[in-house]
Structure 1
């Protein structure tokens, strides 16, 4: 690989002027985002039919997933049935890597519960969550109605509870779920960005990867290497591999 180009070198005063020009556009972008958020708050909602999901304590009605709060954010985790940990979705794993118990506590302070739904069997889901050391509530939708079905997963949906009645208020997918990936927003602040081939970067900037291709290394989603150093070929099952 050849040495990458670098940004132009200028004086501090020149840099300050260029930064101030970009700041005008950044502020406009922020205000546009505020306007979109205001529009989301004015979306109508649609009633959800009564249904159940399966969690650690067995079947749970959808309105009980709220854990007593008014609002619920659900991430639909794409699932490979009977798959080993390394075979599970690297994109979905990436989204959950930032969802710490502290983040969920901040959401709860605003009357929002965060949960993960997946179409896999509960025992497989629980094994993967434990393998990753995650604590957010997960539920299996394997026996639920098609109302909860998504493409394959990877969607975010928002709900509002009024007593025992549940309403869907919003959903997003594809790049819409980047809100759950602070890694990407931080990379966007750096001179080389995400280093993916779709980006509009100057000639000579490093761009070796397709979108999301670097979320997996040596056969595993990147976050799994924080949990184990066991090579993929030695993996036996979701339940037997432990953190090293």
Structure 2
């Protein structure tokens, strides 16, 4: 279905008492979903772990050993960011952009002894320009040339535990697991039209557009248009600014 640009349909109008009955009926299912999520989290805490080969990765302050990325804490959560080497900022991954953009500050993770960092296969000089343009404050490290699966890959969240100088991988997401930090999508799920993507189960004639369509706007990942210095994308260079 193409995007509906006329006034879209809406749910039926009812009195508040009827609305409350419908809302409370849905709440039963929501609570079941929450409890199921709690049970899965409990099982996740009981997974075994596997030791990781310690490597040093280039960061803002030069080569950084894995144990130093913990910044003195016991746990490390890493987002593995995809990268198109040599491509301009405007052509970098819109999926990774929507993921990281929704998680700007790790203060509450830090308060629980958890450090957050980004690993990315791009060269450090490109990552530095990108990080400064986007205004990201999380530490970024380059995994360029690294093929160890504990470090390599993109579009995933990996979780590590430190025991002295030894580091263990305790969990890693696949597929839609990264939605754990995509607050915008979770809020859209609460709205009447949802994410407005074609895969969603919505009523007939609800506004929808191709999946991931809104992640990129006029040639750039959507969040980039909020950044100072963002300019129209030139088709010849993909928007180098």
Q: TM-score scaled by structure 2?
A: 0.93
Q: Which residue of 2 aligns with 1:215?
A: 215
Q: Residue by residue, what CA displacement relative to the aligned partner does 1:12-70 show, whole Å, maximum 9, x if unpaired?
A: 11001000000000001000000000000000000001211110111111111100100
Contact 2:98 2:215 in 1 (8 A): yes
Q: Which residue of 1 aligns with 2:137?
A: 135
Q: How many residues end up aligned between the 2 structures? A: 235
Structure 1 residue ranges without an equivalent (≥5): none
Structure 2 residue ranges without an equivalent (≥5): none
Q: Residue by residue, what CA displacement relative to the aligned partner does 1:210-240 show, whole Å, maximum 9, x if unpaired?
A: 22121000000011000044111189699x7
Which of residues 107, 118, 127 is equivalent to 2:120?
118
Contact 2:90 2:238 in 1 (8 A): no
Alignment partners' CA distance in 1, 2:43 and 2:15: 42
Q: What displacement does 1:204 show?
A: 1.4
The correspondence of residues 44-55 of structure 1 with structure 2, limited to 5 A, is: 44-55=48-59
Alignment partners' CA distance in 1, 2:236 and 2:223: 16
Contact 1:52 1:144 in 2 (8 A): no
Q: Which residue of 1 aligns with 2:167?
A: 166
Contact 1:44 1:169 in 2 (8 A): yes
2:27 paired with 1:26? no
2:47 paired with 1:43? yes
Contact 1:77 1:92 in 2 (8 A): yes
- 4+ runs of 1 displaced by more than 6 Å? 234-238
Q: What displacement does 1:132 show?
A: 0.5
Q: Residue by residue, what CA displacement relative to the aligned partner does 1:140-183 show, whole Å, maximum 9, x if unpaired?
A: 01143423221xx1111000000010000000022110111100
In structure 2, the CA distance between the partners of 1:11 and 1:133, relative to structure 1 (3 Å rule), is same
